[in-house]
Amino acid sequence: MEASKQFSFRLPEGLVQRVEECAEDMRANGLEVSRADVVRLLLNHALNATKCRLDLLLRPLATKGPAHRRR
C-alpha cells in the first residue's frame, strides 16, 4: 500500500452534498466507503481523465440532449 499524507481543504456546501450523495449511492450498492474514500476516488479519476489539461478541466460539462457539432 502506498504511504499517505494528510491533505485538508474546504469545500462549498453544495460540493460536500454532492460527495455525500455519491457516497450514499456507493453504499446502496454494497460498498463500505467514507467521504474521504469518495473524494480520493473522484480526485484520482479526474486527474487520470484530464491529465491536468486545462482545456479539459475548464470546458463546460456536456449538456443533455442531441450533440451539436461545429462545422
Its pTM stands at: 0.74
Total residues belonging to the chain: 71
Residue type, 26: M
71 assigned to some structural domain = no
68 assigned to some structural domain = no
Contacts for 40-49: CB closer than 8 Å, 24+ residues apart: none
Gap between the Cα atoms of 6 and 29, Å rounded: 28
3 assigned to some structural domain = no
5 assigned to some structural domain = no
64 assigned to some structural domain = no
Distances (CA, A) of 54 to 9, 24, 51, 60, 69: 21, 30, 9, 12, 21
What domain range includes position 54? 13-58
44 assigned to some structural domain = yes
Give per-residue pLDDT as tens, 5-59: 999 999 999 999 999 999 999 999 999 999 999 999 999 999 999 999 999 989 8
Q: How many domains does the chain have?
A: 1
